[in-house]
Amino acid sequence: MSHDSSTETIPAHGDVPRHVAVIMDGNGRWAKQRLLPRFAGHRRGVEAVRSTVRACAERGVRFLTLFAFSSENWRRPAEEVALLMQLFRGALTSEVDKLHRNGVRLRVVGDLERFDSRMRTLIGQGERLTAANTGLTLTIAANYGGRWDILQALGRLLRERPEAAQARIEEAQLAPYLSMSYAPEPDLFIRTGGEQRVSNFLLWQLAYTELYFTETLWPDFDAAALDASIASYARRERRFGRTSDQLEEAKRAAPAQASATA
Ligand code: IPE
Ligand code: IPE
Ligand code: MG
């Protein structure tokens, strides 16, 4: 399945974003505030994942993408990395059946070669089991980096179609090789925990995404916090380089069809 890029067409803009991408940040600070080890924050973070998946599905979000572990997070103390891997493995073991029963399609994106074979097997099993589900598509970005994604896409394009190197490479040629080519570009990006940066998350795909930052720490993120972010999204005017007048005109010309082509 391919999707129009927001850099060319105006995607439909309903009040509910089709694709929400989240940097789940602030677990460590949540724990520190309570004089608990950082890991306690990560554990509570898994609960926030559960409730966010449920709330997104209920609200009609089609794609939810969660940044669980960045390619830079290996720089953390070995003990924290090991505990995060354990948590990820545990969640894969215990949650996949429930996701499947709820019609969720699970995908994991990132450089999976860095994970051990047990983890890769679990990921493969979860993806295969849920592949035909038609509900929410939940993508977990693990050992993911936006720069890695662009480079792996370019590498695969050139390996599969070496002749592409002879001419100028078009955006539309690269897009199918990006790791989230099955999804439309995110409509809404949420970062919890107060930092206002992208931290090497979906760099290519965020080109025209609406950005939303909240001080709420990830373990405290709940349905009400999600609704606040969606309400903010619903108030935005997505112009994609055009003028407000042009958007109004397109709406008048094709009122039934929310998605107008330039
Ligand atoms: C986000 O929370 C979780 C991961 C990066 C895995 P942090 O662990 O970054 O929490 P803070 O930023 O230290 O509070
Ligand atoms: C970003 O969080 C990565 C994830 C949430 C998985 P970090 O807390 O690692 O981000 P930086 O390094 O502080 O920007
Ligand atoms: Mg952090």
State residue 261's pLDDT score: 42
Taking CA atoms only, the protein residue closest to ligand 1 atom 1 is: 25
CB of 76 shorter than 6 A to ligand 1: no
- Contact present, 56 and 17 (Cβ < 8 Å): no
State residue 259's pLDDT score: 47
Average pLDDT, the chain: 93
Confidence band, pLDDT 50/70/90 cuts, at residue 255: low
Confidence band, pLDDT 50/70/90 cuts, at residue 195: very high
Residue pointed to by tokens 């295969």 = 128
Least confident of 6-10, 23-27, 215-219, 254-258: 254-258
Nearest in space to 68 (alpha carbons), one of 49, 54, 82, 55: 49
- Structure-model confidence comparison of residues 240 and 72, the more confident one: 72
Q: CATH fold of 19-261, please?
A: Undecaprenyl pyrophosphate synthetase (3.40.1180)
pLDDT at 114 over 90: yes
Name the pTM for this structure: 0.94
For residue 182, report the phi and psi dihedrals to the nearest 5 degrees.
Answer: -80, -5
pLDDT at 96 over 80: yes
State residue 256's pLDDT score: 54
CB of 233 shorter than 6 A to ligand 1: no
Please, how many CA atoms are within 13 Å of residue 105, restricted to the half-sphere of its CB? 12
d(CA 168, ligand 2 centre) in Å: 34
Q: Which ligand is nearest to the CA of 140?
A: 2
Separation of alpha carbons 248 and 255, rounded Å: 10
State residue 8's pLDDT score: 74
Please give the share of the chain, as a percent, with pLDDT higher than 70: 95
List 73, 102, 133, 200, catalytic entry: 73
